[in-house]
Amino acid sequence: MSDEAVKFRLHFTPKVRKQLRLLPLQVQKQYDKAFQIIASEGPEYRSLRTHRYRYKKGEVWGSAASMALRFYWEYAGEQTILIEGIDSH
């Protein structure tokens, strides 16, 4: 992916990096595809099914990597997204 195609730069917390490394390769690929989409197309891309969750301390966004996999993030700047968590349901 070239820099020209990137709308957002993604940063991952150390916890998320560790969680991703421990996942099976097939699951890692599903997350990688979703991360590429959010970086190049933005969170409004329909297949990500992005939702906002409001808390007392602010807001966190959740997006789908697949029907069962989600990741949680927040804006960390104008063109930066911080990936804060991953889970499955």
The DSSP output letter for 55 is: E
Query: Region 61-68: what's the mean pLDDT?
Result: 95
The Cα 27–Cα 5 span in angstroms is 24
Contact 71, 85 (CB under 8 A): yes
Output b/e per residue, 22-61; b: 16+ Cβ within 10 A.
eeeeebeebbeebbebbbeeebeeeebebeeeeeeeeebb
Q: What pLDDT does residue 36 have? A: 96
pLDDT category, 56, cuts 50, 70, 90?
confident
Alpha-carbon span 83 to 39, nearest angstrom: 11
Rounded mean pLDDT, 33-40:
96
SS3 62: strand
**Proportion of the chain above pLDDT 70, given as a percent:** 96
